[in-house]
Structure 1
Amino acid sequence: MSWQRAGQMLEVCNCTLLCPCWLDMTAQPDRGWCGTAIWFDIERGTVDGLDLAGLES
């Protein structure tokens, strides 16, 4: 499966400074649990030839 994507991404989490998951998937959240939300605004892209332009998730 071939993916290409360009656009904006917003990620928020409950960690004090930076979500440790982006740096090390074995790192523990600094508050003992993870609360996060991720939003994508796809300006252009394809998945196996399917146009993704303008999608949000």
Structure 2
Amino acid sequence: MLAHPPHIGRPRHRQHRSWLRLAGPTDSVMRTLELVGVDAPINCRETLHQALTD
């Protein structure tokens, strides 16, 4: 078990201009992301096309 769990959305990722997009998440996946609080930093799109072109 990690002593300090990793934090999603740390400022360090912004320095490298990286991004993370999730295409076509199911309702249960979206609900899980919301429950653990990572739905804001993860850019979710309904389709793969939207995720690649937005």
TM superposition score category, shorter chain reference: under 0.3
Query: Which structure dedicates a bigger proportion of its chain to strand?
Result: 1
Query: Which structure dedicates a bigger proportion of its chain to helix?
Result: 2
Q: TM-score w.r.t. structure 1 length?
A: 0.25
For the pair shown, which has the larger CA radius of gyration, 1 or 2? Answer: 1
